[in-house]
Chains A and B, each alone.
Chain A
Amino acid sequence: MAGPLQGITVVEVAGELSAYTGKLLADLGATVTLIEPTAGSPLRWYEPFAGDQPDPDRSLWWWHYQAGKASVAADLDTADGAAKARALFAGADVVVESAGPGVLDALGLGAAAARAARPELIWVSITSHGAQDPRSAQPSTDLTLLAEGGPVWSCGYDDHTIPPVRGGGGQAGHTAGHYATMSLLAALLSRQLTGRGQVIDVNAYAAANVTTEMASYGYLAARSTVQRQTGRHASPRPTQPTQVICADGAYVNTGPPRHGKDFGELAGWLEQLGLEDEFDEMGVLRLGLELEHISMAQMEEHDLVGEIFAAGRAAMFFLAERLTAYELFLGLQQRGMPAGIIYSPEEVAADPHFEARHWARSVEHPELGRTVRYTGLPVTFPATPAGPLRPAPKLAERA
């Protein structure tokens, strides 16, 4: 296996909150070995299943998060299983676990014991609320962590009778995993100098708390409370929409035109499409071209500037009504205006830019008789490119 962490041995005690960290480390080239119960990790039963057939070897959740890892079957509450785990810890550079505070210690398999035997070991514990908070021993889910941790408060719709929204994809675990990975990499760099490892306590609730942008730092600085808005930043004061629906029913996120050049580009685009007679505010839109840059301060001073801004916004909506989301996205970007098509995750893999960058990774799945596209690497390292992705370990493939 290649990648910047090649030669680094990671042991991961299979768990929901540790899975993503182990995956990132495998993607970086580390040798990652899972420890799971002989009956199979409960994570193997996470939906959805390939062909909707519930089977411990067909969970797509398992496929995604455990790809690139090997697995060892060991019941940690038996002497035999504990011995297997100890042997694995004794050869590890990094242990990642999310069993909950004190759970592995109670089995004689905690950080203290492992580090006494191996001072260079880096031990990463990921818990819902940190090692000291009793809530880490209580149940929590992605939904409850993002609700209490801040992201949910900022996310939803202008109409506040609609519940706030928890975004998808399991981001509470991802954010904790990002901090776990950054932290253990820093610990590996430190170990290069000192020869010593350490214990890292990663708190998923705290990770969500410091991943809310202005919701947290606006409160810290100014005691302001952001309010959620449809498809744009939550803000202490209402702001204009930035998300436009297009002729094909899909959406594009964009800012309003701000620079003199943008108004000219929009006017030119309307002419190119032969729509200049249909758009009522063409004259005002063209005036925008004369302004090198329109600042918010100017907007407050001059009525006309406000009208030009409104015409720019109207032109954007006018175009959206007549174009597909992809056409609007491409057309705005090609004319120098920031815009993003709101893709569904599966649409990303088919996008020409991502295809040109060979983003998706193809994995052979003999049981399906074909290859399957997995998400690509988040970061690539030209000096040490990653090897092919190996499918997640099946029950029968475990040591």
Chain B
Amino acid sequence: MGTGALAHIRICDFTGQLAGAGATKFLAAMGAEVIRIEDPVTQGRWDILRGAPPFKDKRRGSEFGSGFNNHNVNKLGITLNLRTDKGKELLAELVRRSDAVTENFAPGVLERWGFGYSHLKELKEDILYVSNCGFGQVGPYGTFKSWGPIAQAVCGITFTSGLPDLPPAGWGYSYMDHTGGYYMAIAILAGLFWRARTGEGQWIDMSCTEAGAALCGPALLDAEVNGRPLRRPGSPNSNRNAWPAMAPHGIYATDGEDNWLALSVQDDAQWQAFATVVAEPWAAEERWRHRDVRLDHQDELDELVTAWTAGRDRFALAEQLRAAGVAAAPVQRPGERIDGDPATAAFGLWPTVDHAAMGEIRVDGLPVHFSETDWAITEGGPLLAMHNDDVYHRVLGLSPSEIDGLRAEGVI
């Protein structure tokens, strides 16, 4: 047992990809013992990220997926063949010794293996079971397939991202895999907290799409109350849209290729500060001092701002504007924020783990710090079967020769 906030928690974990594995990554970083169960027959490939690019070097195979490593740091990895009776017995033992069972399979998979909630509860009365799938197990789309881009399409998030007269831009990554994982972690933690206070377990059946649909609240209300849907001519205009409304508010080209500055002039005071930095006659015009005028003539204003940012350095501009009290930031490439901005490393945001096959590799850390029980990410994602000896002995009490026997029989 470690020393983190969750050092007293053990998770029997079937999660994979990012939408599930991201949830238990947080728990593992907080000190929970997360025992990740993989199938020895398919070499753990039910999580396609195990062998998926990007790769650190020329090596390929199921121990070299950097995404798998990123999402599974600090977890223990065991193999268990659930096609065998002995495998099912071992899983039952592990469930009895766990606080929660977590998975993000397609609906019904765990049930088909004989480990639906009713059986889990027979094994351990107060077990917490959290499942996470695209649409939730109940309802007309209960069997529909999903992954990040599908969940974020159906929940409304993809549509919010786009410019007038162009197709939806989407998010450029699986925002809803990350966010589904965050909601799943919230579900697990809140379920565990309820259990800690009442002794009561439950089955929380999460729908990633439903969780995502909770992220566009004011847009739903605008349609409900004002009859103003987000799908209307000229909408969304997502670089310009802001609550509260602001102008200028957008992303403007700067010097060099594909370099951009994000700028938000939040109020009339910030406009004065902005105009002082610009120091050109147009910026000194009286009419622009008024938010309503700026909002009413946003196209004209954007042309002036675009001409001003063109050819300037986005980092210098952002620094100058921020110092003057204006919200501005460069659009940063990955390397610019990871290695170029010393503040992210200073926060400890990119911990290095020593992965048993890949060697030293940096991963996403957590964007928080705790004064008493801070997180730690020290171990790489587990190799297939890496912790069989440890878990089957320490947690389930098997002897080394029993474990060897399981190995020989193809159970683990």
| B151–A340 CB distance below 8 A | yes
Q: Would you call A153 an interface residue if the criterion is a C-beta within 8 Å of the partner chain's C-beta atoms?
A: yes
| B169–A165 CB distance below 8 A | yes
Q: Would you call B293 an interface residue if the criterion is a C-beta within 8 Å of the partner chain's C-beta atoms?
A: no
B interface footprint on A217-251 (CB within 8 Å = 1, 0 otherwise): 11111111110111111101000001101000001
A interface footprint on B321-333 (CB within 8 Å = 1, 0 otherwise): 0110111111111
A interface footprint on B4-32 (CB within 8 Å = 1, 0 otherwise): 01101100000000100000001100100
Binds B, one of A81-89, A286-294, A306-314, A366-374: A366-374
CB neighbours of B69 from chain A (8 A): 221
B261 smallest CB distance to A (angstroms)? 8
Q: What is the bound-complex CA distance between A63 and B222, given in angstroms?
A: 11
CB neighbours of A368 from chain B (8 A): 225
| B8–A193 CB distance below 8 A | yes
Contact pick for B216, options A214, A234, A375, CB 8 Å? A375
A interface footprint on B208-221 (CB within 8 Å = 1, 0 otherwise): 00110111111111
CB neighbours of B153 from chain A (8 A): 251-253, 340-343
Q: Would you call A50 an interface residue if the criterion is a C-beta within 8 Å of the partner chain's C-beta atoms?
A: yes
Contact pick for B190, options A28, A132, A154, A232, CB 8 Å? A28
Q: Please provide the chain A residues from 182 to 230 with a CB less than 8 Å away from any CB of chain B in the complex.
A: 182-183, 185-190, 192-194, 196-207, 209-226, 228-230
When A140-B329, A381-B202 are in contact, do A216 and B249 touch as well, CB less than 8 Å?
no
When A224-B54, A340-B150 are in contact, do A166 and B251 touch as well, CB less than 8 Å?
yes
CB neighbours of B238 from chain A (8 A): 165-168
Binds B, one of A269-277, A316-324, A331-339: A331-339
A interface footprint on B254-268 (CB within 8 Å = 1, 0 otherwise): 000010101110100
Q: Would you call A157 an interface residue if the criterion is a C-beta within 8 Å of the partner chain's C-beta atoms?
A: yes
Contact pick for B5, options A186, A229, A251, A343, CB 8 Å? A186
Q: Would you call B107 an interface residue if the criterion is a C-beta within 8 Å of the partner chain's C-beta atoms?
A: no
Q: What is the bound-complex CA distance between A164 and B257, given in angstroms?
A: 13
| B216–A383 CB distance below 8 A | no
CB neighbours of A359 from chain B (8 A): 210, 213
CB neighbours of A214 from chain B (8 A): 54, 67, 173
| A144–B217 CB distance below 8 A | no
| B329–A187 CB distance below 8 A | no
CB neighbours of B215 from chain A (8 A): 169, 171, 174, 375
| B327–A141 CB distance below 8 A | yes
| B6–A186 CB distance below 8 A | yes
CB neighbours of A279 from chain B (8 A): none
CB neighbours of B136 from chain A (8 A): 357
CB neighbours of A210 from chain B (8 A): 349, 364-367
| B216–A164 CB distance below 8 A | no
Contact pick for B334, options A174, A225, A251, A360, CB 8 Å? A225
| B172–A222 CB distance below 8 A | no
Binds B, one of A31-39, A70-78, A344-352: A344-352
| B210–A215 CB distance below 8 A | no
Q: Please provide the chain B residues from 127 to 161 with a CB less than 8 Å away from any CB of chain A in the complex.
A: 135-136, 138-141, 144-161
| A139–B327 CB distance below 8 A | yes
Q: Would you call A98 an interface residue if the criterion is a C-beta within 8 Å of the partner chain's C-beta atoms?
A: no
| B156–A345 CB distance below 8 A | yes
Q: What is the bound-complex CA distance between A381 and B189, given in angstroms?
A: 12
Q: What is the bound-complex CA distance between A47 and B245, given in angstroms?
A: 7
Contact pick for A357, options B138, B147, B366, CB 8 Å? B138
Contact pick for B161, options A168, A196, A245, A379, CB 8 Å? A168
Q: Would you call A176 an interface residue if the criterion is a C-beta within 8 Å of the partner chain's C-beta atoms?
A: yes
| B138–A64 CB distance below 8 A | no
* Max chain A C-beta neighbours (<10 A), residue from B175, B217, B346, B349: B217
Contact pick for B260, options A51, A163, A186, CB 8 Å? A163
Q: 11 other contacts beyond A138-B322, A213-B18, A231-B170, with CB at 8 A cut-off? A: A4-B194, A5-B190, A45-B244, A46-B244, A147-B251, A155-B172, A198-B370, A217-B54, A343-B159, A344-B229, A379-B206
Contacts A/B (CB < 8 Å), 28 sampled: A48-B221, A133-B347, A141-B242, A141-B327, A143-B264, A151-B175, A156-B169, A164-B251, A164-B260, A167-B169, A167-B170, A187-B5, A198-B371, A199-B371, A213-B18, A217-B54, A217-B67, A217-B363, A225-B335, A231-B168, A243-B170, A253-B153, A338-B150, A340-B154, A345-B213, A356-B140, A374-B221, A378-B186
